[in-house]
Amino acid sequence: MATIKKIDPQITNLKSDENLLKYFTSDFRKGYIEVTNKKFVLPQYYLEFMDKIENFEVYDTDVFVVSHPKTGTTWTQEMVWCIGNNLKFTNVEIYKRFPFLEVTPLFDFRECPELFGELSDHLLDSLEYVRKLPHPRYIKTHLPWDLLPKQIRTGERNPKIIYVYRNPKDTSVSYYYHCRAVEGFTGDFNVFMDLFLGGRLTYGPFPAHVLSIFEQKNRENVLIITYEEMKSDLRSVIKNVMNFLSKNYSDEEIEKLEDHLSFESMKNNNSVNYANTGGKNFMRAGIVGSYKNDMTPELINRFDNWIVDKFGKTEIKF
């Protein structure tokens, strides 16, 4: 088992990162910080929750879906939920049954008091909402391994952790449209790509995020899957997750789940597409390689060189 490291207390305010502050600062986000020596970027408000997340009580029966934003998280959540709950297709919104652990630290709604009357419990205090979930709990997080609750990192508790990642070119484009629609990004496409490649977006740097979980890949409670695998051979991924969660279903049941998890079905399913929370264009294209519709050849070449630089000496291939 890999050596356990405590959270590096190194915290730096990103006051000098002009583009991040210029194009992302809003009424609910006043600034950004770098956390740990890997320089993970998070909103400044996260500092008020850092200790609570570090000491969050975890159970062996918990199931976590962990990911960098826009890598197939919601798709994976629905797959994991259905497999873990006897293929129960439900109309209950996914953010209620499979909530986002640290969504509250992402948006400081204290600065927008007019919104408090409209916010649901999972937004007002997501940590408390997750704490009160019935067991087994299903939990989403975008935190890298280094910032997950201490009990997970030390191995004191061994919840199931399913990590999904995606080609960074498709990830960055999907993240761009998401941030334009949901997080108030006002810059242009090229500014966003500069921020992504520079590791100056929330939850970045992307390479450090992905590599943080690969360092733990030999743990029995960690399963790593890819968005591309889900697109090319969803049945095999379903079976892999079934085995990981100690579940067994017939071929006929798996076929029904495949249909339920198809992109069109997911996009038209109001329980997963955040239609009731203002999630405009939350599920946009769902096509592997769609970055080619947005990126110039020069930008693609820049990404390819960046991938070689960041991942070339690793087992991770895109």
What is the per-residue pLDDT across 89-135, written as a single tens digit (0 to 9) for each?
Answer: 998 999 999 999 999 999 887 766 565 555 577 778 999 999 999 99
Q: What is the pLDDT of residue 277?
A: 44
- Total residues belonging to the chain: 318
Average pLDDT, integer, range 267-289: 62
Domain ranges of the chain: 48-311
The single-letter code of the amino acid at 170 is D
Residue 285's pLDDT is 57
- Nearest of 72, 73, 21 to residue 200 by alpha carbon: 21
Residue bearing the bigger pLDDT, 11 or 271? 11
- Chain segment 153-201, per-residue pLDDT in tens: 999 999 999 999 999 999 999 999 999 988 889 999 999 999 999 999 9
Higher pLDDT, 74 or 3: 74
Query: What is the band of 278 on the pLDDT scale with cuts at 50, 70, 90?
Result: very low
Scored b (16 or more CB within 10 A) or e, 233-264 reads ebeebbbebbebbebebeeeebeebeeebeee
Report in angstroms the alpha-carbon separations of 130 from 69, 114, 267: 19, 25, 25
CATH number for the domain running over 48-311: 3.40.50.300
Name the nearest CA neighbour of 4 among 195, 159, 146, 173: 146
Active site residue 142: yes
Please indicate, yes or no, whether the overall pTM of this predicted structure exceeds 0.85: yes
The pLDDT of 300-316, averaged and rounded, is: 97
Distance of CA 234 to the CA centre of its chain: 19
Under the banding of pLDDT at 50, 70 and 90, the label for residue 279 is: very low
Res 275 pLDDT > 70: no
pLDDT of residue 276: 43
Pick the catalytic residue from 68, 122, 142, 209: 142
**Residue for token pair 């960098």:** 68
pLDDT band at 17 (very low <50, low <70, confident <90, very high): low
Residue in the block written with tokens 């085995």: 243
